[in-house]
Structure 1
Amino acid sequence: MAEIIAKDARVASTILKTLTNEERSSALQAVHDAILAAKLEILEANVKDMEAAEAQHLSSSLVKRLDLSKGDKFDVMLQGVLDVASLEDPVGKITLATKLDEGLELYRLTAPVGVLLIIFESRPEVIANITALAIKSGNTAILKGGKESLHTFTALAKVVNEALAKTTVPKDAIQLIASRQDVAALLDQDKYIDLVIPRGSNELVRNIKSNTKIPVLGHADGICSIYVDEDADLEMASKVVLDAKTNYPAGCNAVETLLIHKNLKDKLLEIVQELLDNGVTLHVTDEVSKHLPKSSQIVPVIEGDFDKEFLSLDIAISFTDSVDSAISHINAHSSGHTESIITENKESAERFLKAIDSAGVYWNASTRFADGFRYGFGTEVGISTNKIHARGPVGLEGLVIYQYQIRGHGQVASDYLGAGGSKAFVHKNIDIKNVSL
């Protein structure tokens, strides 16, 4: 069964990548319209998943991620589909052009990765996000959602498949599977599947990496940090930290660690009072504790707190001696997701921006900006902390690779130097602005 699914996806990919941008974008408009029309049905299915999650006493962070009716999440999901559809075509872009010889030209063009296997937990809106990104970038996708989102997943899958069936997109371009057994078997299909993208816990990502030969683009924990420098605007620091922690604490881009320069000890309460007022529990070192009032919301840090993704109204806090010690702490404990420095000192900020080894590094801004929608990518398949191919929010650009094309007039390598011949290559750059293939 898994081999059939993978083979069908491979065949569909050979068709999908030949479609025009207009055809792919039109299909996404159809998906958007169908999801909007079925909103009530989808949200009713989501309620069933929410009730089941609460009955099973699943973590509050998982329940929040599962909830599709919270705030504007459903509308943002829909807008993401339209945003992706309206983006510039990522396929077939010429990124290099070289004249090898008269009548012999080399081109490097962007091309789809091929077949994607995306495994995700909790968030049912991922179906719409990935459908949009995959189709727009010419990739086919096999999606596996978590069991906790089964009802929503099934409802959305039905709508997406029915909508695509009325377009020029091949029917197997987006396949949705529910069985865990299918996932294990699909991880063996390295002949047909080109890239696995897991979205979820570190445990999920590690498990997949150890059970497949297929390249894995991991999206795991977001242990994000904010460093408040001695030259920080404290009102700004309080505002940014509050947003980063409380705007959506279950998000992987929520701040989990707060480092504060030791020279701000006497002004500590100015920075953290808003956190306390908004119900955040502060996990503090002994030194930090000395400068705060007694409160049930202030508890001692325990081993592992600075390596923990709380995903809740909790934050670990410590003093630090300098921007360099803050950098060292973050690079040692961060998951490589997103970090921020709050300071009015440009030299300190630039040092932080260059030295931090994370996918996203900010100056005077909330870590909550780490998001494909906010970056203008339309949406994302995840936030990669990898150091190859794609890094940070993975949008369309992260789902294309390169293909080299040579266009000639019967030339053969044996006529040229390096293959037995005497002809030399010209190797002259062609201005890609003047190229139209």
Structure 2
Amino acid sequence: MTEPTTERSTETKITEAQSAALELANLSEETRNDALHAIADAIEAESEAILEANAVDVEEAEAMLEAGEYTQAFVDRLKLSESKLRDIAEMVRSVAGQADPLGRTLAARRLDEDLELYKLSVPIGVLGTVFESRPDALVQIAALSLKSGNAVILKGGSEAAESNRILYDVIREAAAGAVPDGWAALIEAREDVETLLTRDDAVDLLMPRGSSAFVEYVQDNTSIPVLGHTEGICHVYVDLDAELEMASDIAFDAKVQYPAVCNAVETLLVHESVAEELLPALADRYREADVELRGDERARAITDMNAASEADWSTEYGDLILAVKVVDSLADAIDHVNTFGSKHTESIVTETADRAEKFMRSVDAASVFHNASTRFADGYRFGLGAEVGISTGKTHARGPVGLEGLTTYKYHLEGDGQLVATYAGEGAKPYLHQDFEGEWIPGRLAGE
């Protein structure tokens, strides 16, 4: 296997990606899918080499853990295994199995007889991504970019450098010949990111994944549109008429099933009328799973836990730590979520539809659940194949960003010699503006 092409400058890689994007947008769905299947097969075939490279990263991360620089959750996110690689390969195949996001007719409108306007889905172009320590993020982003016809610049964390390099090589070599050279590029240094931020002439969308401070830094230092993936300060609210066994299971799953990810719950809110019945047994359950509980005064009066500070309500732990607060009402729960949440994912457990509706309509978040764990906020679980991240913003795409979030649209107008002058001035012919069901067929009005 060849070494990654790090000798090429970032400027060159971006320019090559811009050129590749134009070709990639016109590849058939079959070609793109074949390349994805080749990538999945190659990941499985090269699993031994990938795990060896990953072991180097993990060894260094464990040394940092011993020094108190990293958390165990951080190291867990970094670590690959045979089963994880099989899951990654299946994720790539699931992306290939998704419906083609390109060339779809989103709307059709007849402006006049033989003058038809079509709105079609197309790739965005060149994507720039900066992501955290999970090596599987590189594969997810590359797979979704390829399926959606986008070229992509990939920048992973230095803690996963060896893993990212070999995964990038595997992907690039597996797709070689089927897709244009330069469709995916790996950059590694901080100065490479600075270069990326200046290339608004070539890069169409930036997708940073990390802290709010990092996303804000990117937004403040580029004129390229930014699709931000920031912290996941997620809440589960147990309402006054919740089914408490269900509530316990949901709250436990949302924290313990995989605490290191952004859709894990960080704060549990409990209505005061059910707190004494729910919290003691649930706290025991958490403690058995090594979860550190940090509660407000009312929660601590019910069961033993550490005192929560004001900072705990706005902290993404990414670890086996949970803040617990007792609230007086549904309105108080909504107010707390809107004050401290990160607009990621929120869940209410209740048996009353009206109260669930009030919570879901009032909470400002990309995903809002009723009687379900926050861990369902995921591109794969949503049926999107995978995700490039979870957007906590409100424009272009929101929530788990899959294939549809990596497309835009353009208009195709099919005419038969019509002139604007016909529809302007005194005695102008009126437009029909009739929406209709139909697919764009190139040259149909010309009789081709």
| TM-score for the superposition, normalised by structure 2 | 0.93
Per the alignment, residue 130 of structure 2 pairs with 119
Distance 1:278 1:37 in 2: 36
**Equivalent position of 2:329 in the other structure:** 322
Conserved 8 A contact 1:235-1:271: no
Letter of the 1:114 partner, please give it. Answer: G
Equivalent residue for 1:368, pick from 362, 367, 375: 375
Q: Which amino acid in structure 2 is aligned with residue 430 of structure 1?
A: F
Matching residue of 2:364: 357
Helix, strand or coil for the counterpart of 2:381?
helix
Q: Secondary structure at the match of 1:376?
A: coil
267-276 vs 393-402, which moves further: 267-276
Cα deviation code 1:261-318 (max 9, x no counterpart): 011132121333311221111101111111114xxxx200112100000111111111
Structure 1 residues 11-57: Cα deviation after superposition (integer angstroms, max 9, x where no partner)? 10110001111111111011111111001100111110000111123
Q: Deviations over 1:201-243 (max 9, x none)?
A: 2222122111111001011100000000110111111111111
Write the deviation string for residues 331-384 of structure 1: whole angstroms up to 9, x where unpaired: 111001101011111111111111111011111110011111111111100001
Aligned partner (choices 381, 385, 388) of residue 395 of structure 2: 388
Q: CA deviation at 1:387?
A: 0.2
Instruction: Measure the CA separation in 2 of the matches of 1:404 and 1:46.
Output: 45
**Match among 428, 431, 434 for residue 425 of structure 1:** 431
Q: Give the structure 2 partner of residue 183 of structure 1.
A: 193
Match of residue 306 from structure 1: 313
Q: Which residue of 1 aligns with 2:5?
A: none
In structure 2, the residue matched to 1:56 is 64
Does the CA-based 8 Å contact 2:37-2:96 persist in structure 1? yes
Distance, in Å, in 2 between the alignment partners of 1:421 and 1:316 is 70
Residues 217 and 384, structure 1, Cα contact 8 Å, conserved in 2: yes
Asked if structure 2 preserves the Cα contact closer than 8 Å seen for 1:164 and 1:171, the reply is no
Partner of 2:220: 210
Match of 2:298 in 1: 287
Q: In 1, distance between residues paired with 2:11 and 2:415?
A: 38
Q: Which residue of 83, 87, 109 corresponds with 1:76?
A: 87
Is residue 43–residue 85 contact of structure 2 (8 Å, CA) maintained in 1? no
Q: Aligned with 1:304: secondary structure?
A: helix
Alpha-carbon distance in 2 for matches of 1:179, 1:228:
45
Find the aligned partners of 2:302 and 2:99 in 1 and give their Cα distance: 53
**Any stretches of 5+ residues in structure 2 without a counterpart?**
1-8, 443-448
State percent identity of aligned pairs: 45
Partner of 1:173: 183
* Post-superposition offset of 1:436: 4.6
The 8 Å contact of residues 10 and 187 in structure 2, kept in 1 or not, is answered as: no
2:101 matched residue in structure 1: 90
Distance 1:273 1:364 in 2: 22
Give aligned pairs, total.
429
Verify the 8 A CA contact 2:44 2:85 in the aligned structure 1. no
Deviation at 1:428, TM superposition (A): 1.2
User: Following TM superposition, by how much is the alpha carbon of 1:435 offset from its aligned partner in structure 2, in angstroms?
Assistant: 5.6
Deviation of the 1:421 alpha carbon: 7.5
Which amino acid is the alignment partner of residue 139 of structure 2? Answer: A
User: In 2, Cα distance between the equivalents of 1:73 and 1:391?
Assistant: 27
Structure 1 distance, partners of 2:396, 2:283, is: 38
The list of structure 1 runs, each at least 4 consecutive aligned residues, that deviate by more than 4 angstroms after superposition, is 434-437
Q: Tell me the distance in 1 between the aligned counterparts of 2:297 and 2:184.
A: 53
2:446 corresponds in structure 1 to none
The residue number in structure 2 matching 1:2 is 10
In structure 1, C-alpha distance between the alignment counterparts of 2:110 and 2:144, rounded to whole Å: 34
Give the CA RMSD over aligned residues. Answer: 1.4
SS for the counterpart of 2:302 is coil
Partner residue in 1 for 2:40: 32
Structure 1 residue 266 and structure 2 residue 266: aligned? Answer: no
Supply the AA of the counterpart residue of 1:45: A
